[in-house]
Amino acid sequence: MATSAAVPRGLARPAASTNAQRARRTDHIVGRLRVATPDERTRSSLVDELIETNVAMARSMAARYRNRGIDLDDLEQVALLALTKAAQRFDPSAGHDFMVYAVPTIRGELRRFFRDSGWMVRPPRRVQELQACISHAHNELESRLGRSPRPSEVAAHLAVPLEEVVEALTADGCFAPTSLDRPIRRGREVLADVLADDGRDLDCVEVRTMLSPILGVLAERDLLLLRMRFIEQRTQQEIGDAVGLTQAQVSRRLTSILRQLRAELEERPAG
User: Residue 52's pLDDT is what?
Assistant: 93
Q: Which DSSP category does 183 fall into?
A: B
Q: Which DSSP category does 204 fall into?
A: G
User: Residue 203's pLDDT is what?
Assistant: 44
Q: Is residue 85 within 8 Å of 107, Cβ to Cβ? A: no
Return phi, psi of residue 235, to 5°. Answer: -75, 165
Q: Torsion angle, CA of 157/160/166/170, rounded to 10 degrees?
A: -100
User: Residue 80's pLDDT is what?
Assistant: 94
Cα three-residue angle 21-23-29, rounded to 5 degrees: 100
Name residue 183's beta-bridge partners.
190
Mean pLDDT of residues grouped by 10 in the chain (271 residues)? 47 53 88 76 88 91 79 89 91 80 88 71 72 83 80 89 80 54 55 47 49 70 84 84 86 85 65 46
Q: Which DSSP category does 190 fall into?
A: B
Distance from C-alpha of 146 to C-alpha of 26, rounded to nearest angstrom: 32
User: Residue 82's pLDDT is what?
Assistant: 93
What is the pTM (predicted TM-score) of this model? 0.43
User: Residue 36's pLDDT is what?
Assistant: 63
Q: Which amino acid is at 16?
A: A
Burial class, 178, CB count within 10 angstroms (exposed 0-12 / middle 13-18 / buried 19+):
exposed
108 closest CA partner among 89, 87, 83: 83
Q: Which residues, including other chains, have CB under 8 Å from residue 70's CB and lie 6 or more apart?
A: 113, 114, 117, 118, 175
CATH 1.10.10 boundaries in the chain: 119-215, 218-271
Q: Architecture of 19-116 per CATH?
A: Orthogonal Bundle (1.10)
User: Residue 58's pLDDT is what?
Assistant: 92
User: Residue 16's pLDDT is what?
Assistant: 42
> Under CATH, which number does the domain 119-215 receive?
1.10.10
SS3 content of the chain, % helix, strand, coil (to 5): 65, 0, 35
Pick the CATH number of 218-271 from 3.40.390, 3.10.180, 1.10.10, 2.60.120: 1.10.10
Q: Which amino acid is at 2?
A: A
Distance from C-alpha of 7 to C-alpha of 188, rounded to nearest angstrom: 45
Q: Which amino acid is at 223?
A: L
Cα three-residue angle 233-237-242, rounded to 5 degrees: 80
CATH 1.10.1740 boundaries in the chain: 19-116
User: Residue 43's pLDDT is what?
Assistant: 85
Q: Is residue 55 within 8 Å of 15, Cβ to Cβ? A: yes
